[in-house]
Structure 1
């Protein structure tokens, strides 16, 4: 495993160490009050344990974050001695009610092997991609790259002449999703209970969810719309961008409803997902009347907006939903409604 960071988090009556890769992928945690430790199934257990031991032995009382290098880590064979609080560490066995946490900066498309869902003991083991490791804008960026590679000269000339093409639309969209991801890092840094998954492919018709945010304030599907220097006007279900009507509210509503159904099916419990339209790069955003069931938020206000959400979910529910959401199989069930519009 690469070098790890150990960050201390003290809020809401908890005092925990969160262990992550330098890329930001969370691989485990240790509670300093209860000595409970969780190591993600996809992580190197010994490396995570070594990082925690290194922090306990070397961090100053005021240290909030340290980096543990390979040289500093204890050898894999060096298990904690009997009586050490870390002997209570057990490898994390992911179920639908017990999830791994992950950040958002590393993309992986390698299939993973998943245990059966806890509400369906007879379910067969299946291959799945860990969506928690996907980068923001991954789906849009792939589309832009494919179009550029298919017509490199045409793409180059279009950029020089500033012609609006499908390649440009996908590229600008990916840029917007990356900007939103950076804003989402704010609530996550301040409260690790928040989780985010980016670029979730849904169904088999090219639809995707730009960002799914899960935390104490609820579950939100974020639809990022990047309109550099544009004027955006919102009136109920109507969104106008430079005077042109856009179906953003309808799409965001459909996206949230679809996510709610798929997550409920995966977890075996009701999951309320709220749609959020995130406006990126606009020169002017006027909300004359907010939609009834979709929030419209300027990208620069997104972090504070999420932090202001009243607590609605406990940690058990947050982890259950995250565990289901990170599995690619959750979003591509065998039976799908082919008449649903592309979001």
Structure 2
């Protein structure tokens, strides 16, 4: 049989090749990461193998699609209005800038803050190959947002972005000072967001401060004597991929399915 179409897709951190008939009906898909071909109709087995032959590497298995996990079922039943996965980094700032354009005179920090959140968000998204799942601009009660939520083998992190704009950054818990600006209690706010996330997800959530474009970073040990906040420059975010042994892959997916549901953060 000829005429089968092979279409590459990438969703939820997985590279797949979907095989369909000329009329668009799906007959199979090949998951590159697991090396498995999920066959929807046995009659097309030989044709599917022939169509995928140029793309298959190594040993593969072929059979019916795996039974959906509880996380899969929850994701499939999620209403689009309640799905936080499409949120962009800095979603609230996107909306704010759309309503009120940057000031022509004086310094408007919002464009720099948006650029910083986008840079950190892009770096976090690239962790998907290491088994991480990331959400951006997670709405919290009180009209506030968590910049990013990272869930992976190394644990769950509430991420706050700090735009340094080429200035020196000084950290003296709970205050953070950028350049000559007045110190602000970023670590207190970050811990509060991590605690909210831990309560909503019923799991431990660690606070992480991502500092973007700092000329110099001077962290100081916190007054409580335990450095519970992880502080990284945006270029150090890939190092999170080396963390592991905290959350199992199935639990990563389950936590991600829970976290992407808006109702998790605003229970009725």
Residue 283 of structure 1, CA deviation:
1.4
Structure 2 residue 225 is matched with structure 1 residue 225: no
Alpha-carbon distance change, 32 to 217 in structure 1, aligned in 2, over 3 angstroms: closer
Three-state SS of the structure 1 residue aligned to 2:183 is: strand
Residue 234 of structure 1, CA deviation:
1.2
**CA separation in 1, counterparts of 2:17 and 2:94?**
26
What does 1:147-226 align with in structure 2 at a 5 Å threshold? 147-148=100-101, 155=102, 158-159=103-104, 161=105, 163-164=106-107, 168-189=108-129, 191=130, 193-203=131-141, 205-226=142-163
TM-score normalized by the length of structure 2: 0.76
Give CA-to-partner distance per residue, 1:65-121, whole Å, 9 cap, x none. xxxxxxxxxxxxxxxxxxx9544115746x358676xxxxxxxxxxx853xxxxxxx
CA contact (8 A) 1:28 1:37 kept: yes
Partner of 2:221: 289
Three-state SS of the structure 2 residue aligned to 1:245 is: coil
**CA separation in 1, counterparts of 2:148 and 2:81?**
19
TM-score normalized by the length of structure 1: 0.61
Three-state SS of the structure 1 residue aligned to 2:119 is: helix
Partner of 1:312: 246
Alpha-carbon distance change, 180 to 28 in structure 1, aligned in 2, over 3 angstroms: farther
**CA separation in 2, counterparts of 1:219 and 1:28?**
30
Residue 298 of structure 1, aligned match among 214, 223, 233: 233
Partner of 1:253: 191
Alpha-carbon distance change, 136 to 218 in structure 1, aligned in 2, over 3 angstroms: same
Partner of 2:259: 325
Alpha-carbon distance change, 113 to 224 in structure 1, aligned in 2, over 3 angstroms: same
Residue 57 of structure 1, aligned match among 46, 53, 57: 53
What does 1:53-202 align with in structure 2 at a 5 Å threshold? 56-59=52-55, 61=57, 86-90=62-66, 92=68, 95-96=70-71, 113-114=77-78, 128-148=81-101, 155=102, 158-159=103-104, 161=105, 163-164=106-107, 168-189=108-129, 191=130, 193-202=131-140
Partner of 1:275: 207
Alpha-carbon distance change, 230 to 327 in structure 1, aligned in 2, over 3 angstroms: same
Three-state SS of the structure 2 residue aligned to 1:311 is: coil
Residue 284 of structure 1, CA deviation:
1.4
Three-state SS of the structure 2 residue aligned to 1:133 is: coil
Structure 2 residue 15 is matched with structure 1 residue 18: yes
Give CA-to-partner distance per residue, 1:322-341, whole Å, 9 cap, x none. 0101111111123xxxxxxx
Alpha-carbon distance change, 233 to 98 in structure 1, aligned in 2, over 3 angstroms: farther
Aligned-residue CA RMSD in angstroms? 3.6
Q: Could you tell me which runs of 5 or more consecutive residues in structure 1 were left unpaired when the two chains were aligned.
A: 10-16, 22-26, 39-44, 63-83, 101-111, 115-125, 149-154, 265-270, 335-343
Residue 56 of structure 1, CA deviation:
3.6
